[in-house]
Amino acid sequence: RQGRARRVARSASAASSGRPPLKVLVPVARDCDAVTVACLTDVLTRAAAAVTVASVERDLEVQLAGGLRIVADSSIDDCKECNDWAAIACPGGEEGAERLCDSRTLEGMLKQQRKSGRVIAAVGEAPAVILAEHRILEFDEKA
């Protein structure tokens, strides 16, 4: 209980500090792991980040692994012009990560994010499927 109260207080103080929230992009695709999508968005939101969930699919409604349906905030194409993402955080799920990997728009955004020295995060299968495939991880880095 006490830990939760401290987390809530920290989130509230970060939100009221007058600083703009960090912008974080969470791309999603059909069959992404529902738990990693939920955990990424929940933890980032609790940390007072401005989270945007972006679909790489044609529609904003995306069916995650296990059948859970979510509605993304925007399409990945609508997010590509924004060059000030503090982080891009890719969820896991093998089939979903493969679909994320197939998005040329997301690939370009991740490479630009890397080039500019900003944060790239990946959970579960995403480091191997997305980051390694597009050679975004250096050989001496750990996922």
Condensed to tens digits (0 to 9), the pLDDT of residues 106-119 reads 999 999 999 999 99
Q: Confirm if 96 and 64 have CB atoms less than 8 A apart.
A: yes
What are 40-90's pLDDT values in tens digits? 999 999 999 999 999 999 999 999 999 999 999 999 999 999 889 999 999
CB 143 within 8 A of CB 128: yes
**pTM for the complete prediction?**
0.84
Residue 8 in this model has a pLDDT that exceeds 50? no
Helix (H) or strand (E) holding 25: strand 23-28
Q: How many CB atoms lie within 10 A of CB 119?
A: 13
Give the residue from 77, 65, 75, 74 showing the smallest Cα distance to 37: 65
Residue in 57, 61, 131, 118 with CA at minimum distance from that of residue 92: 131
- According to the model, what pLDDT value does residue 139 have? 53
pLDDT(7) > 50 = no
